[in-house]
Chain A
Amino acid sequence: MNKNTIIALTFIIVMAFFPLIADSAWLGIGITFLIFACVAFSQDIILGRAGIFNMGHAIFFGIGAYATAILNVQFGFEIIATIPFAIILPVIAAIVLAGPIIHLRGDYLLVATIGFNIIFEQVLKNNPGDITGGPNGIFGIDVVRVFGYELFSDTAIYYIAFGLLLITLLIIRNLDNSRYGRALFYINKDEIAAKSMGINIPYYKLFAFALGAAIAGAAGSVFAIQYSAVSPESFNFMQSVMFFAIVLVGGSASLPGVLIGTFVMFVLPELFTEFNEARYLIFGAAMVLTMVLRPNGVWPASFGNIPKYLKEKVKGAK
C-alpha cells in the first residue's frame, strides 16, 4: 500500500465512524461537508479534469434538489422514487444548456454559464406554472422510506450522504483509469493537440458536463432530504462561485485538494459563526492569498495522473 491509499483509507474510516462521536450540531456539519464534497467533486470533473470554465454548477445541484422537492411535495412521489429524476433531469439540462456553447473558449463559456445560473435563479424566484414555490421555495419534504423503514434521523441521512460520497469517489477512480478520463486530461492539457489526435472534443466535454451534473443532481437530492426544504438562495450564482473556488483553492483534479477546499469553504465558516459579519471578507482575502502563495491550489494534483505502467516503462527505459 502506498501513502495515498493509506491517507484515503484513513479518511474513509474516520468519516465512517464520525457519527459515533459527534453530537447533533456536528453531525449536521458533517452532512453538509459530505454533500458539498460530492458537488465539489462533480465540479472537479468538469472544471479540474476537463478544464471547462463552468461557473454555473449550482444549476445542476439545484435541479436535483428541486426535482426531489417538486416530485415529492407536488406529485406525492416517494423520496426514493424521485432520485432517478434528480439524476436524469440535471443530465438533460447539462446537455441542452452546454451543447450550444461547448465550442466557446474559456472566458466566454464562463460568462455563458454565469448567465444560465442567473436565469435559473430568476426562474425559481418567478415561479412559472406555480411549481417552484417562488422566493420562499418548497418546504415539508417527506422523510426517506425504504422497505417500511423511515430514515429520518441525522445519522441515517449522514450515511446516505456518505454512501453518495463513496460512489462519487468510485466513479472518479474509474474515470481516471478509463479512456474517458484520459481524454479529458488530454483536452485539459492541450486542446489542439488532443483534437489532432482524433479526440472528439465536444463529445468528451459534454460527457464531463453530463457526469458532473448527474453527481451534483444526486447531491442536490440529499441536500433537499437533509433540510426537508429547498429555496432559491441555495442555488444562486454566489453558490456556483463557491464551487468554482473550492476546486481551484483546493487544487484541481486533486482528491485531497478538493476535500480541503470543501472543508475550508463550507465547514470553517460554520465553526466561526462569531465572525459572521466579517466572514466573507476573510474568505475573499483567503482566496486571494491562497492563489498568490499557491497558484495551483493548496494540495495540487501530483504530476497529472499518469498511469503507473507508463511511469514504470519510463523508469525501465532509463
Chain B
Amino acid sequence: MDIFLQQLINGLTIGSLYALVALGYTMVYGVMKLINFAHGDLVAFSAYVGLTVFTQFFGSGATSFVSVIIIFIVTSIIVAFVGVLLERLAYRPLRTAPRLSAVVSALGASLVIQNGIMLIWGPNMQIFPADLLPSTTWNFGGVIISYTQFVILILSAVLMAALYIFINKTKMGTAIRASAIDQDAAKLMGINVNRVIVIIFVIGSMLGAIGGLFIGIYYRALTFDMGWLYGLNAFIAAIIGGIGSIPGAMLGGLMLGLFNALIAGYISTEWAETFTFVLLILILIVRPTGLLGEKTAEKV
C-alpha cells in the first residue's frame, strides 16, 4: 500500500508537469487545428534558459525564495517571446495553406529550436542545480513528499485554476473559446483572431516554461533533445483528455502521470513508452475525441 501511495504522489507530480505542457498543445490545437510540434522543444529551451539565468545572476551560492521567483518570471517572459516569434514566423504565413504544410513547418521549427539549444549550450547533458528549492522532505507514514513535489503540485493546481477562470470568466477567454469554435464567425463578431492566437501562444509558452523549469528542478538532467520526450507525453495527455479541451488537458495530464508511475512502479520501466503508446492507441481506437472532447461531426 505504501508503494501504491508513493507512486500516486510521484504520478500526480509528473502528471502536473504533463498537464502544464499539455495545455499549450491543446490551446493551440483548439484555435489553429495545428499540432505545435515545437512546443516540447520550447519546454526544453525554458529549462536551459532557467539554468543560465540562475548561473548568470545568482551564481551557485545560496538561493532565496525571491531569486527563484525572478528565475521563473524572467524565463517565462523569454520563452513567451520565443513562442510568439515562432507563431509569427512559422505558423502565421501558413494559416490558409494546406494543413500538412503547417505540420511540416512545425516539425522544421522543432528541429531549429532543438538544434539551436545544442549549438548554444552544447550537446552534453547539463545538470540543474539541486539547491534551487529546499531539499526538505516530509514523511507521512512511509509516504515521502519532497518540497519540490509539494511546490509543483500546489503551483500547478493554482495555475490551472487561474487558467480555467481566465478562459471561462473573462472577455478574452470568451474570445478564445469563440475562435476555437469557428474562426470566421469569431472574426465577424469583431474578435481579433490574430490577437487571440498571440495570446494563446503567450499563455501556452509561459505554462510550458513553468513546466520546463519544474522538469529541470525535479529531474535535474537536461539534454537538448528532451523536448521530444516530454512534448510527446504531454501531447498524449492532451489527446487522452480530448484535444482542444482545457479541462481535458489537465485531466489527461494527471491520468497519464499516474499511469506512467504505476507502470514504472509495478510492471516495467524498460517498456514504459510502449505501455504509454498502447494506451494512447487504444484510446484513439475506442474514443478518438478523448475523455472530455466533444464529439463533433466532420464538416462537409
Question: Chain A: residues with CB nearer than 8 A to chain B?
Answer: 47, 53, 100-101, 104-108, 110-112, 114-116, 118-119, 122-123, 126, 192, 237, 241, 244-245, 248-249, 252, 277-281, 283-292, 295-296
Contact = CB atoms under 8 A, between A and B. Distances in A.
Interface stretch (B6-14, B44-52, B86-94, B129-137): B86-94
B165 to A, nearest CB: 29
Classify chain B: how many residues form its interface, as a range.
35 or more
Contacts of B281: 100-101, 112, 115-116
B189 interface: no
Interface in B52-91: 89-90
B100 A248 contact: yes
B271 A287 contact: no
Contacts of A119: 273-274, 277-278
B116 interface: yes
Contact of B105 (A47, A112, A123, A292): A292
Given A101-B284, A116-B281, A286-B108, 17 more contacts: A101-B281, A104-B284, A104-B285, A104-B288, A107-B243, A108-B239, A108-B284, A110-B103, A112-B284, A192-B298, A244-B107, A277-B119, A280-B111, A281-B111, A284-B108, A287-B107, A296-B97
5 contacts: A115-B277, A118-B273, A119-B274, A287-B105, A292-B93
Contacts of A110: 35, 103
B260 interface: no
A280 B108 CA distance: 9
The A interface, classified by DSSP as helix, strand, loop or mixed, is helix
Interface of B: 29, 33, 35, 89-90, 93-94, 97-105, 107-116, 118-119, 228, 232, 235-236, 239, 243, 270-271, 273-274, 277-278, 280-281, 284-285, 288, 298, 300
Nearest to B104: A248
A107 B97 CA distance: 16
B108 to A, nearest CB: 3
A105 B277 contact: no
B97 A291 contact: yes
Contacts of A283: 108, 111
A281 B116 CA distance: 7
Given A192-B300, A277-B118, A288 B112 contact: yes
Contact of B114 (A100, A105, A245, A280): A280
Contacts of A291: 94, 97, 101-102, 104-105, 108
A111 B235 contact: yes
A285 B98 contact: no
B270 A288 contact: no
A106 B300 CA distance: 15
Given A53-B100, A284-B112, A278 B93 contact: no
Given A244-B107, A287-B104, A295 B115 contact: no
Contacts of A105: 288, 298
